[in-house]
Amino acid sequence: MSLKNILSELEINIKDYEGKSLTVHSPINGEKLASLACDNKNSYNLKIKKSAEAFKKWRDVPAPKRGELIRIFGDELRKNKPALGKLVTLECGKIYQEGLGEIQEMIDICDFAVGLSRQIGGLTLPSERPNHTMQENWLPLGVVGVISAFNFPAAVWAWNLALAVVCGDSVIWKPSEKTPIIAIACQKIFERAVKIFGDNSAKDISQIIIGNGAEIGELLVNDNRIALISATGSTRMGRIVGPKIADRFGRSLLELGGNNAVIVTQSADLNIVLPSILFGAVGTAGQRCTTTRRVFIHEKIYNDFYSKLKNAYSKINGKIGNPLDPKTLVGPLIDKNSFDIMQKSLGIAKKAGAEITGGKRVLEKEYKNAYYVEPALVKLKKQADIVKHETFAPILYVMPYKNLAEAIEMQNDVPQGLSSSIFTTDLREAEIFKKYSDCGIANVNIGTSGAEIGGAFGGEKETGGGRESGSDSWKIYMRRQTSTTYYGATPPALAQGIKFTN
């Protein structure tokens, strides 16, 4: 399946983005997919100017009408789901099933946003003064900058775009330099939806910026014209970006590293646990921010469970390969750098006394320029320092625990706070876990990854505190205004009973 075929299936031409400054490779075999032109300071400025102008028109379009554009966009995504899914697979290496899942996640958020477009509502609050009404209004915010990562090269943008657009904002997207082609395709499909929508007020409300390296990101982050930056990536990136946005009193939505754990209690139903851990730990080749990275198993079932897990991993090893092949469950890592970091982490774990199964490079002969690995199981007696770092690769640290309080304490004893799960058939254990897990996501009897769009997605501590996608996450894309109106005929009373008459 070549890029050319996929683009022709999508009826998309990327010639207008071609150039010499950014070469894109497929992680499947390292082959060159395209050469693109990067934005420079001038083109960047022009795009931000256009975005600010687009916002001024778009904010005046009634929200349900804005929803109509997202409905059309969702329809276009539905029509193009197979080809877009393939493009995700070709450019970021996740298996085709997950490529399709990514596009479905975009469709789902569109549906959510269409409904939201008729529900964006504020409060009416009681005023302490007679003949006054007090309300909260939610108003469009401005230009929203989206910085996304390679592992969800389209869906994370869509979470932001769909909500921002129904909220009346304009969006400027800087995709990962590793996955710009899917971004161009999504942008073009959005432009197609704008055309069908037929109203000129939607012109330029979505644009993309192609950049190689940190410069363009810096421009976005420091730009006062951008009201909100929604950034997904590493904690290292967040540490640079967050303070800069705060310094200009901009708004930020940070979705950073995770170090997600599963607790397997003695009462757990093992038929449920094993497939959930497998999908969580080796799915997307361990490259989700929600990937399961740690498992705590009750000491009484530890040895037995570990051998079952090892057995399941050995079966997975036969399913590593080309992510377009329907039999494959584990595709490649994104690049050599990612492979090197994985090997380094395994080296450190070994020094800390771990017993390691897997983790080696495979299919080296067939794919000289691509990095396929056996997912690694790392058996440890307790949580060593290396376990507290997020390595964006399929490494699962497996550790025993004595009692639930200790397990939850170990689970929380990492800098990150995105996702967590417990497997139990004991109601008390489940409720105690939900109460004390310090993560943004706390699941019972399902794994750490694969959240639906309906809930707010995000995490605490070094994960950055942002919430996006469902629930009331839309509020960050709007500004809140309190408005008190007096409708009496005599001079109005002052709040707090202050008398001010002469």
The residues annotated as belonging to the active site are: 255, 289
Nearest partner of 164 among 479, 488, 385, judged by Cα: 479
Q: Are strands 18-25 and 32-36 parallel, antiparallel or unpaired?
A: antiparallel
Q: Does 372 bind ligand UN1 (CB under 6 A)?
A: no
Q: Does 276 bind ligand UN1 (CB under 6 A)?
A: no
Residue 345, token pair as written in the block:
């982490």
Q: Are strands 206-208 and 170-174 parallel, antiparallel or unpaired?
A: parallel
Candidates 451, 464, 465, 470: give the one binding ligand UN1 (CB under 6 A).
Answer: 451
Candidates 230, 322, 345, 449: give the one binding ligand UN1 (CB under 6 A).
Answer: 449
> With CB under 6 A, what is the number of residues at the site for ligand UN1?
11
Angle between helices 96-116 and 81-92 (to 10 degrees): 120
- Closer CB to ligand UN1, residue 232 or residue 357? 232
Using CA of residue 340, residue 346, residue 351, residue 357, what is the dihedral sign? Answer: negative
Contact map string, positions 96 to 135, toward ligand UN1, x by CB under 6 A: ---------x------------------------------
Q: For residues 421 and 497, what is the distance between their CA atoms, to the nearest angstrom?
A: 52
To ligand UN1, the closest distance from the beta carbon of 289 in angstroms equals: 4
Q: Does 282 bind ligand UN1 (CB under 6 A)?
A: no
To ligand UN1, the closest distance from the beta carbon of 269 in angstroms equals: 22
To ligand UN1, the closest distance from the beta carbon of 369 in angstroms equals: 25
Q: What is the 3-state secondary structure (H, E, C) of 83-95?
A: HHHHHHHHHHCCC
To ligand UN1, the closest distance from the beta carbon of 38 in angstroms equals: 24
To ligand UN1, the closest distance from the beta carbon of 172 in angstroms equals: 20
Judged by CB under 6 A, which stretch of 44-52, 135-143, 180-188, 446-454 contacts ligand UN1? Answer: 446-454
Nearest partner of 339 among 388, 285, 288, judged by Cα: 285
To ligand UN1, the closest distance from the beta carbon of 255 in angstroms equals: 6
Contact map string, positions 153 to 192, toward ligand UN1, x by CB under 6 A: ---x------------------------------------
- Closer CB to ligand UN1, residue 158 or residue 289? 289
Candidates 289, 309, 354, 386: give the one binding ligand UN1 (CB under 6 A).
Answer: 289
Nearest partner of 173 among 36, 39, 34, judged by Cα: 39
Query: Three-state DSSP class for 255?
Result: strand
Q: Does 280 bind ligand UN1 (CB under 6 A)?
A: no
Q: Does 152 bind ligand UN1 (CB under 6 A)?
A: yes
Q: What residues contact residue 128 under an 8 Å CB cut-off, 6+ apart?
A: 495
Q: Does 6 bind ligand UN1 (CB under 6 A)?
A: no
Long-range contacts of 266-273 (CB under 8 A, 24+ apart): 266/298, 266/300, 266/301, 267/424, 267/425, 267/426, 267/429, 268/301, 268/423, 268/424, 268/425, 269/423, 269/425, 269/445, 270/305, 270/308, 272/423, 272/445, 273/305, 273/423
Judged by CB under 6 A, which stretch of 192-200, 288-296, 336-344, 381-389 contacts ligand UN1? Answer: 288-296
Contact map string, positions 43 to 82, toward ligand UN1, x by CB under 6 A: ----------------------------------------
To ligand UN1, the closest distance from the beta carbon of 148 in angstroms equals: 8
- Closer CB to ligand UN1, residue 194 or residue 451? 451
To ligand UN1, the closest distance from the beta carbon of 286 in angstroms equals: 11
Q: Does 232 bind ligand UN1 (CB under 6 A)?
A: yes
To ligand UN1, the closest distance from the beta carbon of 199 in angstroms equals: 32
* CA dist 409 → 297, 386, 401 (Å): 13, 17, 10
| CA of residue 378 relative to chain centroid, distance | 26
* CA dist 427 → 265, 310, 391, 412 (Å): 12, 29, 33, 21
First-to-last C-alpha distance (Å) of the chain: 83
- Closer CB to ligand UN1, residue 86 or residue 288? 288
3-state DSSP helix/strand/coil percent for the chain, to nearest 5? 45, 20, 35
- Closer CB to ligand UN1, residue 151 or residue 170? 151
Residue 238, token pair as written in the block:
């967040």
Q: For residues 58 and 76, what is the distance between their CA atoms, to the nearest angstrom?
A: 21
Q: Does 206 bind ligand UN1 (CB under 6 A)?
A: no
What residue type is assigned to position 121 of the chain?
G
Q: Does 259 bind ligand UN1 (CB under 6 A)?
A: no
Q: For residues 250 and 222, what is the distance between their CA atoms, to the nearest angstrom?
A: 9
Q: Does 250 bind ligand UN1 (CB under 6 A)?
A: no
Contact map string, positions 290 to 309, toward ligand UN1, x by CB under 6 A: x-------------------
- Degrees (nearest 5) of the Cα angle 134, 140, 145? 140
Q: Does 450 bind ligand UN1 (CB under 6 A)?
A: yes
Point out which residues bind ligand UN1 (CB under 6 A).
Answer: 105, 151-152, 156, 232, 288-290, 449-451
